[in-house]
Amino acid sequence: MSVYFETVKTQNNARAGVIHTPHGDILTPVFAPVGTQATVKAVLPRDLREIGASLVLSNTYHLFLRPGSDLVAEMGGLHRFMRWDQPILTDSGGFQVFSLAKINRIDDDGVTFRSHIDGSARRLTPEIATGIQHQLGADIIMCFDQCPPPTDYATAAAAVDRTSAWAARCHQAHGTDTAQALFGIQQGGVFEELRARSSDALLKLDFPGYAVGGLAVGESKPQMYATLESCVPMLPADKPRYLMGVGAPDDLAQGVLRGIDMFDCVLPTRIARHGAVFTFDGTLNMGNLAHARDESPIDPTCDCLCCQNFSRAYIRHLIKARELLAHTLLSIHNLRFLIRHMEALRAAILAGDGQLQAYVDSFLLRYLRG
């Protein structure tokens, strides 16, 4: 098996580990920057390396529509196309066909939808989504799933059964003769019995990793944390556990405490393009007048290119002048902030008993007060 997980140390439910992949090791817990369209928006691969990114996520739905997975395959695959020689994960497109596309029809076989780009009719099935991900060539690929609103029982139950059936088909389509690892996605909304039903079905297929899907899509934070407490222990301890689409700094800490190893989210780069930055004292809007004559960096303790070079005054000027460099600098800072946060969480797990909870408590106290 080309992708496999090793636990280095545990602390209660939390784990520090390593995911080995054909493109190098991923130290966990890990936050993966999102490069939706084969680029982390406004950030060069060189700068991603410099801030310590290891795993990058890209979106099957977007690449399928543009430039097309056949083109990416012809250009040597996604690593070569976007010049990221470290691990890549692609999602299955399941989330986007329900959130972005104009859906025409969902049936047990798959989804027919219209492209949000040109309105063209497209179809994704478990087999097609797996085939596209083979063309893209990411190290970790995902099962095609149905991600419903999290708090409606009947919808969530139907989505679990469909996702289970689709997981079996993805598993079959994926085969065994590949260095790519196919992960299963647990669904079930906020309902413990549905999460259990979903896990039972997936575990029979013995995936090399499992995602918790269908969270951070409308439920409250306490609901999300409670769901994680019940659903994460359903997943095998010797496989990586991936909480999809979660990237708020407090949620990362809460997820790690509950046994999650992998996260991804557009949040850090999206808020950057709106002038907002993460700090240990909460989120700041760098466009505020308060920063106009402030010579200090966003965070004097931060080692990123932005904080090592530029003042808040300059950054505010770039935002007000609508300069593209603001997007680049704030994206780099926000990604580095989350990666430092993950490094600190990992170090706290490795440091031994009690250190993780202590770090999280002190982080949350300051961050949530900000």
Contact set with its own copies (CB under 8 A): 37-39, 41-46, 62, 66-67, 71, 74-76, 81-83, 292-293, 295, 305, 309-311, 313-314, 316-318, 320-321, 323-325, 327-328
Collect all residues with Cβ–Cβ distance below 8 Å to 214 and sequence separation of at least 6.
147, 148, 150, 156, 159, 186, 187, 188, 189
Set 47, 251, 264, 299: catalytic member: 264
Q: What is the DSSP letter of 168?
A: H
CB of 331 to its own copies, least distance (A): 9
| CA-to-CA separations, 332 to 270, 327, 328, 337, in angstroms, rounded | 12, 8, 6, 8
Smaller CB distance to its own copies: residue 205 or 313? Answer: 313
DSSP state of 232: G
**Residue 13's Cα: distance from chain center in Å?**
20
- Residue appearing with tokens 């090791």: 25
Considering the complex, what minimum distance in angstroms separates the CB of residue 36 from its own copies?
9
Shortest distance, CB of residue 326 to its own copies, whole angstroms? 9
Q: How far is the CB of 107 from its own copies (least distance, A)?
A: 30
Which residue among the candidates 47, 91, 145, 261 is catalytic per the annotation? Answer: 91
How do beta strands 262-265 and 241-243 pair? parallel
CA distance linking residue 317 with residue 122, whole number of Å: 43
Give the strand pairing for 56-58 and 88-90: parallel
In the bound complex, what is the minimum distance in angstroms from residue 82's beta carbon to its own copies? 7
| Burial category of 182 from C-beta neighbours within 10 Å (exposed 0-12, middle 13-18, buried 19 and up) | buried
Q: Which is nearer to its own copies, 104 or 296 (CB)?
A: 296
Q: Are 161 and 168 in contact (CB under 8 A)?
A: no
How far, in Å, CA of 36 to CA of 57, rounded?
A: 7
Q: How far apart (Å, rounded) are the C-alpha atoms in residues 257 and 155?
A: 29
Question: In whole angstroms, what is the distance from residue 36 CA to residue 265 CA?
Answer: 10
Instruction: Tell me the sheet residues that pair with 254.
Output: none
**99: DSSP letter:** H
The smaller minimum CB distance to its own copies, of residues 83 and 102, is found at 83
User: Closest Cα to residue 344, out of 327, 328, 367?
Assistant: 367
Q: What is the CA radius of gyration of the chain?
A: 20
238 carries an active-site annotation: no
Smallest Cα–Cα separation from 1: which of 28, 21, 23? Answer: 21
User: In this complex, which beta carbon is closest to its own copies, that of residue 257 or of residue 267?
Assistant: 267
Q: How far is the CB of 34 from its own copies (least distance, A)?
A: 13
Q: Cβ closer to its own copies: 20 or 317?
A: 317
Q: For this structure, is 25 an active site residue?
A: no
Nearer to its own copies (CB atom), residue 215 or residue 318: 318
Nearest-approach distance from CB 85 to its own copies, in angstroms: 11
Measured from the CB atom, is 73 or 205 closer to its own copies?
73
**Among all residues, which ones are annotated catalytic?**
91, 264
